Amino acid sequence: MNKRYSSLDGLRALAAIGILIMHVQACVEVRPEGNFIYDVFIPSLTNFVYLFLLISSFSVSCGYYEKMKNMEIAPNEFYMKRYKRILPFFAILVIIDTLIPHAPNKVELSRMTGEVATGIDAFINSLYDSFAELTLAFNLLPNPKPSIGVAWFLGVIFLFYMLFPYFVFLMDNKKRAWKSLIIGYIFSFAAISYFLTDKFINFELTRHNIVYDAPFLLWGGCIFLYKDRIEDFVKNYKTVSLLMAWGLVFVYWFVPLTHKGFLFVIVMSLVTVLWLCYAIGTSGKILNNRVVKYLSGISMEIYLCHMMCFRAVQFLHIENYINNIYVVYWTTCVLTIVIAVVFCHVVKYMVLPKISFVFNK
């Protein structure tokens, strides 16, 4: 029976809420700024997505590494479980985005790309987007830009699932796992510096690409192989482990790093590794309580729908009633969280169980 690391619930919950808070600040009409909290701390919360990648890799290894290695699970069972976990909720968001002409995610995509389609062209474009997104295989495209912007994470993680048997091969033993991790860093560096530059193809290699994210996914497997030793170390040296994790966070905050640079990949992967290791060996109340456990259960759903919920809050025009931009910002954050949680709860626990037969074929 697989051991449950309950503190991972806390990391998932904090990551989902942190990314939501960051996106609200990035998209509000008047952005609060002027001190460390608003200029450094909140923008840095975008990097919680790398923690999601690491946790996903570690969690799927806990659940399926031994079964895949010993051929105790059929490909049909493995991939059906992945589709059933991800597709139902995501499909509802995609349908909403396709049918509503001015859907929140279309507005956000237009803002990012500067391209605005209208009329029948907009609807046809939505059909193309929807088809690709509902396959969950859209990361096979050379430069995917899903209409639900945050769904790039699903594209990366589902491609990782598609490659999971090969991942198990790479993680077959500790020696090969370390070799694979080193090769993953070299491949990421080569892609950033050479293969995926304008010498060959006209787009930037970013976190939307699985080669860029490979070290985070490979670290998840390496941590899985050493999970017992890591747990013992953290339990015996909890304060040291926590200080190491926070120490690298401060390095990231105060040492300028560009997201396009290879040094960022190294630093951010080490930051997320230390926090995952700390969570494996700790059982403190901050990462283990009813609230974070509940939020963890809908963390993926919150991540996927929070921009739609934010756009709904924008229609309230809170700024017309409150003059202080900081109060406007935090009120918007709270309302977005509440709407996202309610929406996710209703859809996941009330709607989807009633239509589960659609996804069981």
Please report the pLDDT score of residue 329 as a whole number: 93
Please report the pLDDT score of residue 317 as a whole number: 87
Please report the pLDDT score of residue 123 as a whole number: 72
- What are the tokens at 199? 């010498």
Please report the pLDDT score of residue 169 as a whole number: 93
- The pLDDT tens digits for 331-346 are 999 999 999 999 999 9
- The pLDDT tens digits for 268-301 are 999 999 999 999 998 878 888 889 999 999 999 9
Here the contacts of 86-89 (C-beta below 8 Å, separation 24 or greater) are: 86/136, 86/154, 86/158, 86/300, 87/134, 87/136, 87/359, 88/352, 88/355, 88/356, 88/358, 88/359, 89/300, 89/301, 89/304, 89/305, 89/344, 89/347, 89/348, 89/352
Average pLDDT over residues 138-167: 85
Please report the pLDDT score of residue 319 as a whole number: 84
pTM, to two decimals: 0.81
Task: Please say if the pLDDT value at position 31 is more than 90.
Answer: no
Please report the pLDDT score of residue 6 as a whole number: 85
The fraction of the chain above a pLDDT of 70, given in percent, is 89
